[in-house]
Amino acid sequence: MANISAAQVKELREKTGAPMMDCKQALTEAKGNLEEAVVLLRKKGISVAAKKAARVTSEGSVAHYIHAGGKIGVLVEVNCESDFVARTDDFKELVHDIAMHIAASDPKFVRKEDVTPEAFEREKDIYRAQAAATGKPPQVVEKIVAGKMEKFYEEVCLLEQPFIKDQTVSIAQLIASKIGKLGENISVRRFARFKVGDATATVAFTTAKPDEGDGGEAAAPVAK
């Protein structure tokens, strides 16, 4: 068994925000390897998040973030299960980070499932035409299109985007790590992003139903 020092546990906790005992256990399993321990903690967070995904999130917080000297503004609603968790520093930090990320990355939808059929078919047609123009056979074209659609989701869906503070972690994984730490389901309900001089604004609502883990009534996304 690896001899895990307090300094190693502290370093992993600062890197991941996970509880001390979880950090020590992950380091022990990883035989003291910090990067492997980080991966183990992320897997645990995702596993916990999956178990809690069906729990209704009817509490939470609305936060704002103003960027670039008042040129870009974001409002975001992030939900959790209890007012107690909503008041914790960990939850507040998460909401702030998500708002800041939206300001920087300009997502158009919350989840993959929220992408409108019109937006999906428009992008798919463009990618199919581009791939077909290369002269490749139809089966290869479809594989190319499938790959490009995954990249499209990563570009326009908040939960699929790499977190601006840590490009190795998606927003979904960031939320999963907080679910693992706080012990409650957490979900992004909606957000709006405004930019000075831009005639349109991005306003996105998740279409998840309350029993799918997003509190409140379902609403169709509007992304411009």
In terms of CATH architecture, what is 55-114+157-212?
2-Layer Sandwich (3.30)
Handedness of CA 29, 31, 33, 36 (dihedral sign): negative
CATH superfamily of 6-51: Ubiquitin-associated (UBA) domain (1.10.8.10)
Q: Is residue 203 helix, strand or coil?
A: strand
Q: Is residue 20 helix, strand or coil?
A: helix
The answer to whether the pTM exceeds 0.85 is no
pLDDT tens per residue, range 32-78: 898 888 888 777 766 566 666 666 678 999 999 998 789 999 999 99
Q: What six digits make up the tokens of 188? A: 């992004």
CB half-sphere exposure, 188, CA atoms < 13 A: 35
pLDDT tens per residue, range 146-194: 889 989 999 999 999 999 999 988 999 899 888 888 888 999 999 999 9
Classify 117-153 by CATH class.
Answer: mainly alpha
Residue entry with tokens 């992950």: 26
- Domain chopping of the chain, boundaries: 6-51, 55-114+157-212, 117-153
pLDDT tens per residue, range 126-145: 998 988 898 888 888 889 98
Distance CA 171, CA 100 (A): 12
